[in-house]
Amino acid sequence: MNIILFGPPGAGKGTQAKLLQDKYAIPHLSTGDIFRTAIKNETPLGVKVKSILDSGQLVPDETVVDLVAEELKAPKYDNGFILDGFPRTVPQAEAFNEIAANQNKAVDAFVVLTVPEKELVSRILSRGQGRADDTEEKIKTRLEVYRSETEPVQNYYKAKGVEKEINGIGTVEEIFDRITSSLH
Protein backbone atom coordinates (compact mmCIF):
# COMPACT_ATOMS: atom_id res chain seq x y z
CA MET A 1 0.00 0.00 0.00
CA ASN A 2 1.37 3.41 -1.02
CA ILE A 3 0.12 6.22 1.19
CA ILE A 4 0.75 9.96 1.24
CA LEU A 5 0.00 11.66 4.57
CA PHE A 6 -0.94 15.28 4.02
CA GLY A 7 -1.87 18.25 6.15
CA PRO A 8 -0.57 21.48 7.60
CA PRO A 9 2.26 21.74 10.15
CA GLY A 10 1.01 20.36 13.48
CA ALA A 11 -1.71 18.16 11.97
CA GLY A 12 -0.11 14.97 13.33
CA LYS A 13 1.36 13.47 10.17
CA GLY A 14 4.54 12.20 11.83
CA THR A 15 2.66 10.65 14.74
CA GLN A 16 0.19 8.88 12.46
CA ALA A 17 2.92 7.79 10.02
CA LYS A 18 4.68 5.86 12.81
CA LEU A 19 1.43 4.09 13.74
CA LEU A 20 0.65 3.24 10.11
CA GLN A 21 4.21 1.97 9.63
CA ASP A 22 3.77 -0.40 12.57
CA LYS A 23 0.29 -1.59 11.54
CA TYR A 24 1.02 -2.19 7.84
CA ALA A 25 4.75 -3.01 8.09
CA ILE A 26 5.64 -0.50 5.39
CA PRO A 27 8.38 2.14 5.73
CA HIS A 28 7.75 5.81 6.49
CA LEU A 29 9.65 8.18 4.24
CA SER A 30 9.88 11.75 5.54
CA THR A 31 11.68 14.19 3.28
CA GLY A 32 12.48 16.25 6.38
CA ASP A 33 14.22 13.25 7.96
CA ILE A 34 16.17 12.57 4.76
CA PHE A 35 17.28 16.23 4.61
CA ARG A 36 18.28 16.26 8.30
CA THR A 37 20.31 13.05 7.88
CA ALA A 38 22.00 14.35 4.72
CA ILE A 39 22.84 17.65 6.45
CA LYS A 40 24.15 15.88 9.56
CA ASN A 41 26.30 13.52 7.46
CA GLU A 42 27.46 16.43 5.26
CA THR A 43 26.67 14.57 2.03
CA PRO A 44 26.78 16.59 -1.21
CA LEU A 45 22.97 16.80 -1.07
CA GLY A 46 23.12 17.77 2.61
CA VAL A 47 25.58 20.60 1.98
CA LYS A 48 23.41 21.88 -0.90
CA VAL A 49 20.17 21.64 1.11
CA LYS A 50 21.72 23.27 4.19
CA SER A 51 22.84 26.32 2.21
CA ILE A 52 19.35 26.63 0.68
CA LEU A 53 17.59 26.33 4.04
CA ASP A 54 20.09 28.63 5.79
CA SER A 55 19.21 31.33 3.26
CA GLY A 56 15.52 30.94 4.19
CA GLN A 57 14.53 29.46 0.84
CA LEU A 58 12.53 26.30 0.07
CA VAL A 59 14.41 23.38 -1.44
CA PRO A 60 13.64 23.44 -5.20
CA ASP A 61 11.04 20.96 -6.48
CA GLU A 62 13.54 19.21 -8.74
CA THR A 63 15.94 18.52 -5.84
CA VAL A 64 13.16 17.14 -3.63
CA VAL A 65 11.71 14.99 -6.42
CA ASP A 66 15.15 13.57 -7.28
CA LEU A 67 15.74 12.77 -3.62
CA VAL A 68 12.44 10.91 -3.24
CA ALA A 69 12.81 9.08 -6.56
CA GLU A 70 16.27 7.87 -5.57
CA GLU A 71 15.14 6.80 -2.09
CA LEU A 72 12.10 4.87 -3.42
CA LYS A 73 14.40 2.65 -5.50
CA ALA A 74 15.51 0.94 -2.28
CA PRO A 75 14.09 -2.60 -1.92
CA LYS A 76 12.51 -1.77 1.44
CA TYR A 77 9.84 0.25 -0.44
CA ASP A 78 8.85 -2.63 -2.76
CA ASN A 79 5.78 -3.50 -0.66
CA GLY A 80 4.66 0.07 -0.07
CA PHE A 81 5.50 3.33 1.63
CA ILE A 82 4.11 6.15 3.71
CA LEU A 83 5.18 9.58 2.45
CA ASP A 84 5.11 12.54 4.81
CA GLY A 85 6.13 16.05 3.78
CA PHE A 86 6.04 15.29 0.07
CA PRO A 87 4.74 16.34 -2.39
CA ARG A 88 4.44 19.96 -1.23
CA THR A 89 3.67 21.59 -4.56
CA VAL A 90 1.61 20.64 -7.62
CA PRO A 91 4.79 20.40 -9.79
CA GLN A 92 6.23 17.95 -7.21
CA ALA A 93 2.97 15.94 -7.33
CA GLU A 94 3.03 15.84 -11.14
CA ALA A 95 6.70 14.80 -11.22
CA PHE A 96 6.10 12.21 -8.50
CA ASN A 97 3.15 10.78 -10.44
CA GLU A 98 5.50 10.11 -13.35
CA ILE A 99 8.15 8.56 -11.07
CA ALA A 100 5.56 6.41 -9.30
CA ALA A 101 4.26 5.16 -12.65
CA ASN A 102 7.81 4.36 -13.85
CA GLN A 103 8.57 2.49 -10.61
CA ASN A 104 5.15 0.81 -10.53
CA LYS A 105 4.37 2.53 -7.21
CA ALA A 106 1.11 4.40 -7.80
CA VAL A 107 -0.44 6.22 -4.83
CA ASP A 108 -3.29 4.20 -3.27
CA ALA A 109 -4.40 6.79 -0.72
CA PHE A 110 -3.81 10.50 -0.21
CA VAL A 111 -4.80 10.96 3.45
CA VAL A 112 -5.51 14.57 4.44
CA LEU A 113 -5.58 15.43 8.15
CA THR A 114 -7.81 18.46 8.67
CA VAL A 115 -7.31 20.53 11.82
CA PRO A 116 -8.51 24.10 12.56
CA GLU A 117 -5.74 26.74 12.56
CA LYS A 118 -6.20 27.64 16.23
CA GLU A 119 -5.60 23.99 17.20
CA LEU A 120 -2.54 23.75 14.89
CA VAL A 121 -0.93 26.80 16.52
CA SER A 122 -1.65 25.39 19.97
CA ARG A 123 -0.17 21.99 19.06
CA ILE A 124 3.00 23.41 17.56
CA LEU A 125 3.59 25.75 20.50
CA SER A 126 3.05 22.91 22.98
CA ARG A 127 5.12 20.19 21.30
CA GLY A 128 8.35 21.79 22.44
CA GLN A 129 10.54 20.87 19.50
CA GLY A 130 12.50 24.03 20.03
CA ARG A 131 12.36 25.18 16.43
CA ALA A 132 13.52 28.76 16.09
CA ASP A 133 10.39 29.59 14.12
CA ASP A 134 7.94 28.12 16.66
CA THR A 135 6.46 31.47 17.65
CA GLU A 136 2.79 32.18 17.06
CA GLU A 137 3.58 34.75 14.37
CA LYS A 138 6.03 32.46 12.53
CA ILE A 139 3.65 29.50 12.79
CA LYS A 140 0.88 31.56 11.20
CA THR A 141 3.30 32.49 8.39
CA ARG A 142 4.13 28.79 7.85
CA LEU A 143 0.41 27.99 7.74
CA GLU A 144 -0.12 30.76 5.17
CA VAL A 145 2.65 29.30 2.99
CA TYR A 146 1.01 25.89 3.39
CA ARG A 147 -2.37 27.26 2.27
CA SER A 148 -0.99 29.07 -0.77
CA GLU A 149 1.65 26.60 -1.99
CA THR A 150 0.84 23.20 -0.55
CA GLU A 151 -2.93 22.96 -0.18
CA PRO A 152 -3.48 22.93 -4.01
CA VAL A 153 -1.81 19.49 -4.02
CA GLN A 154 -4.98 18.18 -2.33
CA ASN A 155 -7.06 19.09 -5.40
CA TYR A 156 -4.56 17.28 -7.62
CA TYR A 157 -5.10 14.01 -5.72
CA LYS A 158 -8.83 14.62 -5.29
CA ALA A 159 -9.09 14.70 -9.10
CA LYS A 160 -7.28 11.33 -9.19
CA GLY A 161 -9.88 9.85 -6.83
CA VAL A 162 -7.45 8.78 -4.08
CA GLU A 163 -8.04 11.60 -1.56
CA LYS A 164 -9.36 10.66 1.89
CA GLU A 165 -10.14 13.59 4.17
CA ILE A 166 -9.79 12.72 7.87
CA ASN A 167 -10.86 14.79 10.88
CA GLY A 168 -7.56 15.41 12.68
CA ILE A 169 -9.17 16.35 16.01
CA GLY A 170 -9.38 13.79 18.82
CA THR A 171 -7.05 11.37 20.51
CA VAL A 172 -4.17 9.88 18.55
CA GLU A 173 -6.03 6.55 18.61
CA GLU A 174 -9.31 8.03 17.36
CA ILE A 175 -7.57 9.72 14.44
CA PHE A 176 -5.63 6.52 13.66
CA ASP A 177 -8.89 4.52 13.64
CA ARG A 178 -10.43 7.02 11.19
CA ILE A 179 -7.41 6.71 8.90
CA THR A 180 -7.28 2.90 8.93
CA SER A 181 -11.06 2.69 8.37
CA SER A 182 -10.69 4.90 5.29
CA LEU A 183 -8.00 2.61 3.86
CA HIS A 184 -10.22 -0.48 3.68
Q: Is 123 helix (H, G, I), strand (E, B) or coil?
A: helix
**142 a catalytic residue:** yes
123 is catalytic: no
To the query of whether residue 147 is one of the catalytic residues in this protein, the response is: no
> Within a 10 A sphere around the Cβ of 75, how many other Cβ atoms?
6
Q: What is the DSSP secondary structure assignment for residue 8, as one 8-state letter? A: S
Catalytic residue among 23, 73, 76, 131: 131
Q: Fill in the DSSP letter of residue 85.
A: S
In the 8-state DSSP scheme, what is residue 47?
Answer: H
Q: Which of 73, 127, 140, 160 is catalytic?
A: 127
Q: 114 has which bridge partners?
A: 167
Give the residue from 99, 102, 106, 133 showing the smallest Cα distance to 9: 133
Residues belonging to the active site: 13, 88, 127, 131, 142
